[in-house]
Structure 1
């Protein structure tokens, strides 16, 4: 199984090509006259193409605003010609649900691939050989090798000792025999378990909620500041709460936790504490988006929307320097001396 010059290039999954109507993670390599050439990151960087007509459902004003060289993102598989190696892809047909599912799968697969590649390199093995005897059997049995790796952290023997491989041997009578042996030697198994335990640390989830908070009383900005403090005080060591101004009157509450239900519960408690505090000063708080776990893609899109809101708000604020203070200026809850940005 070991070679002097191991091949460390291999696809992540047993299938050599993706299925039609499957969302896959790609990286843009080149923009041509008719579309963009991309690499399918989960399939050992085989080439695919996105025609310009498959970039957006709307009229394209600027290709560069929709797709850029180097960008990684999920797209939908339209056609696969296995004989010619052609793969046609679409960006406009991939839904938000497809994007989220693809990102979650890819992040898991990327971690598995990184561990497998490191073990293969360290033990001087072909990466595909390691996938054939360990990775892909675990994908088949557990749905994703990532799920098996999580179990290996605490119980490696029950997972890995069940994997076997067949080898050919010549018996005493000179006849060829098929013998079943463990899929991994003890040294390779030890290296794999050590790498999994080092890399498979729990990843915290980001929980987020959006609220609108207003207070038109005198010193309203101070009342909002105090309400923000009450919200953050509702957090704990496992789920610390942060609340930040996006653009008056919009605020976002966030926490990071290993337990999704606990994180949502803590943010709900923070919203309740904040509501009680601001209403006691005749202010008002409304929930725009209830607490929910957000993916990397959603968080990025959220930030872009909030940035636009903040910029739009700055333009409006600049129209009238004598505008009455409503107590909802830019608040930094961590700096008690800063209340309103002029």
Structure 2
């Protein structure tokens, strides 16, 4: 497999050309009066067939067909990027790597992307089944064919490392913003009980935390690999929190429904809470103000709650 000057160009699929009626991803090279000249991105940018051109037709494509094509291409592009990087760093011929690793996985799993997802947690069961045939000269001088692993240990380790680096799922942060008030006597205790009910709605995969931003604003947060599950868990947490606070004639208002938040949104929330904490420290000593007693919010330990983020 090794070569001083490895070939790093190869189509993504075993077939040299797309099937008839198959939607493909293309790049337009030029546009003429009667036609356009394009390259096929999934087929190593090929333009010519044996003696002319690959004939493509432009037709109305349904949204479903577009989605299928884009999904296939994005998965194939990621697989191709991993394969090419391994070939380049290990000085391998890319097409040879596809012949003995990539395309067999496409055949067995429908798409190599699906196989690579399994490699993240169980590389041996996926990769150890791949073999190649090599010819050797036997003791009698005759050529014999032997079946050996498709990958050396070094190449296998490099492939697994790259797959894990590129395909290990990253947890999403799911957040909801609420306002919660309780004007009854010991309102702060009822709010704390409601917060505990919200956190109890979480589970091992989606633990829920509820943080005070500034009375009466709170955020509920969870992290999960499954976006829909995270949204569902926070929705249940809000319901549990609402039920508890309403038992004591309090009120909960959802300001922002559960949704996935970006790293920037998370940073902005942390900055906001830091500023509020600083402001809270500057007015320390005003704990006996009538306004605070009237709201029934109490002095929930803001600094302690921030440290938990």
TM-score, L = length of structure 2 = 0.58
Pairwise CA distance, 1:32 = 2.1
Pairwise CA distance, 1:182 = 0.7
Pairwise CA distance, 1:19 = 0.7
Q: Report the equivalent of 2:46.
A: 46
Write out per-residue CA displacement over residues 86-118 of structure 1, whole angstroms, 9 at most, x where no aligned residue. 23132x421100111111111111111001000
Q: Report the equivalent of 1:134.
A: 101
Q: Choose the corresponding residue for 1:147, options 103, 114, 126.
A: 114
Over aligned residues, Cα RMSD in angstroms? Answer: 4.3
Is residue 2:20 matched to residue 1:20?
A: yes
Write out per-residue CA displacement over residues 45-80 of structure 1, whole angstroms, 9 at most, x where no aligned residue. 1128xxxxxxxxxxxxxxxxxxxxxxxxxxxxxxxx
- Mark the CA change 1:268 to 1:89 in structure 2 (over 3 Å): closer, same or farther: farther
The answer (yes or no) to whether the contact 2:206–2:233 under 8 Å persists in 1 is no
Q: Report the equivalent of 1:88.
A: 56
Secondary structure of 2:27's counterpart equals strand
Secondary structure of 2:151's counterpart equals coil
Query: Following superposition of structure 1 onto structure 2, how do residues 93-112 of structure 1 map, counting pairs within 5 Å?
Result: 93-112=60-79
Q: Report the equivalent of 2:168.
A: 201
Write out per-residue CA displacement over residues 169-215 of structure 1, whole angstroms, 9 at most, x where no aligned residue. 111111111111110111111111111111112267999xxxxxxxx
Is residue 2:6 matched to residue 1:6?
A: yes
Write out per-residue CA displacement over residues 249-276 of structure 1, whole angstroms, 9 at most, x where no aligned residue. xxxxxx9963254256369779999xxx
Pairwise CA distance, 1:156 = 1.1
Q: Report the equivalent of 2:301.
A: none
Query: Following superposition of structure 1 onto structure 2, how do residues 125-274 of structure 1 map, counting pairs within 5 Å?
Result: 125-202=92-169, 258-262=225-229, 265=232
- Mark the CA change 1:12 to 1:88 in structure 2 (over 3 Å): closer, same or farther: same
- Mark the CA change 1:135 to 1:205 in structure 2 (over 3 Å): closer, same or farther: farther
- Mark the CA change 1:269 to 1:14 in structure 2 (over 3 Å): closer, same or farther: same
User: Which has the larger helix fraction?
Assistant: 2
Write out per-residue CA displacement over residues 301-335 of structure 1, whole angstroms, 9 at most, x where no aligned residue. xxxxxxxxxxxxxxxxxxxxxxxxxxxxxxxxxx9
Across the two proteins, how many residue pairs are aligned to each other? 224
Write out per-residue CA displacement over residues 229-262 of structure 1, whole angstroms, 9 at most, x where no aligned residue. xxxx9xx99699xxxxxxxxxxxxxx99632542
Q: Separation in 1 of the partners of 2:6 and 2:164?
A: 24
Secondary structure of 1:166's counterpart equals strand
Secondary structure of 1:47's counterpart equals coil
Q: Separation in 2 of the partners of 1:178 and 1:112?
A: 30
Pairwise CA distance, 1:27 = 1.9
- Mark the CA change 1:187 to 1:95 in structure 2 (over 3 Å): closer, same or farther: same
The answer (yes or no) to whether the contact 1:47–1:87 under 8 Å persists in 2 is no
The answer (yes or no) to whether the contact 2:9–2:44 under 8 Å persists in 1 is yes
- Mark the CA change 1:20 to 1:257 in structure 2 (over 3 Å): closer, same or farther: farther
Further displaced range: 162-171 or 198-207: 198-207
Q: Which runs of 5+ in 1 are unaligned?
A: 49-80, 208-224, 228-232, 241-254, 274-290, 294-334, 336-342
Q: Which runs of 5+ in 2 are unaligned?
A: 181-197, 209-221, 241-257, 261-271, 273-309
The answer (yes or no) to whether the contact 2:115–2:126 under 8 Å persists in 1 is yes
- Larger CA Rg, structure 1 vs 2: 2
Pairwise CA distance, 1:165 = 0.4
